[in-house]
Chains A and B, each alone.
Chain A
Amino acid sequence: MGFVCCVVATPTGSYWPFLGQFGVLVLVAAVAGLAPGRLLRALAVEVPFVAFALAMPFLATGPTTSVLGWQLSVAGLHGAVMLLAKSTLSVLAALILAATTEPPEFVSGLQRLRLPALMVEILGFMIRYLGLIAAQWRRMAIARVSRGFEGRNLRAWPALSGAVGSGFIRSYERGERVHLAMLARGYDGEMPAALGSSRSARPIEWAVAAGLVCGTAILSWWLR
């Protein structure tokens, strides 16, 4: 079960203090992900995301890293490279997780990791509603464009803010309707046990996951 492997491998994977482990961990991640077979194809699809993620440390965390870059201190450069390697590794691991795990499995996996039930329910509802709300945004965007809207500069803000406001009202009212419909169907504050296949990890899979993590740890320590 790639899910368990990846979740366990990720936190350790991100803490290897040396660049030499980069290849090793990519290999481990690839092996862990390759188990379901279809992953290689999924990873190829995710390549643009990986490229984007590689650029992320530069873009998203601009202030600190660019300060480093301009100072050009040895420690700073070293740190920047390490940072990049580590975030790339963990992004890769997360992508493998996302590629191997369907949202329902992800939710039930978190449930088994003892995330509070309410959090799991909120997460489940969020994933269910996300498609609806994204579709609603798209409809509203099409409506805006058809009224001649162009999002070029600051003058677009009132229109967009109004859209966010009415988007909130529409979403919330939809939520109220759905909640009433759930009440009508006997909802009493707790979701019925999840239908479908929520199998737990077999002992052998736990063993493989643990072995992978230990192996990586030993290898990294040895290579340091």
Chain B
Amino acid sequence: MSTPLANPGRGPRQQFELSIGRVSLRLQMSDAQLFGAASARYAAFSDAAAQPTTIALNGGAAPNGAPVDFAYELEGAALRAFSTEIRFDGVRNQYALDSLLRVLLSWKLLGRRGFLLHAATVVRNGKAFIFTGRSGAGKSTVASSSPEGSVLTDEISLLRREDGVWRAYGTPFWGEFRAAGSNSSAPVAGIFRLLQAAENQVEILRPVAILRALLPNVLFFSAETQANRRLLEILSQAATEIAGYNLAFRQNATFWEVLPS
């Protein structure tokens, strides 16, 4: 949904509402080119929610005297979270916006028992299979060898625990597959740590090994102690409640034959 807003002296400010993993956001900006790029990039995640968090892009002065709950800087672009609104400043293109959105989501998910993970997610028989690993591990191979429409994301998966069930959500954050993620979710079947090998093989992991597999692939940007304690609590719960495996695979679709159903 896009709506022009009155913004005297700066040209019309436009807004775009979206929802990623049920985190509702409203982007407001005056830059028409950036607005066009953002609304196209996040079109599949467009959603008008009742009470979205407002993000003001390059909006000028910050709220007077308001304390900053969370701040992050990335290559000249800055995120500041105030109690009343979020500010993204120095955002020159859609890539900077995309990066700050990932940072913001990773922070907001802490309060929703969720996290972002470098992982491709594929839905099969109604369940989400999560394939995690760094660049080159095979996430794009998994995504590209899966049936059309079954890939929630080929790069960044969003996991959150809702009503006692872990669900995986698609995100609009692209990987090598260059496909916009799917704005849908499914209950998690398992987390699979990708390892390239000559033969397909799965090995079940203990919770501490799942945690060990998750940690290097979690997107998190706060060095603040309480935030890290909260993240570790969430990840420990995920590692205890979600089945996890090492998946040695041949970089083609035959790996499905060895996965647990």
Is chain B found bound to chain A in the same assembly? no
Q: Which residues of A contact B (CB under 8 A)?
A: none
Q: Which residues of B contact A (CB under 8 A)?
A: none
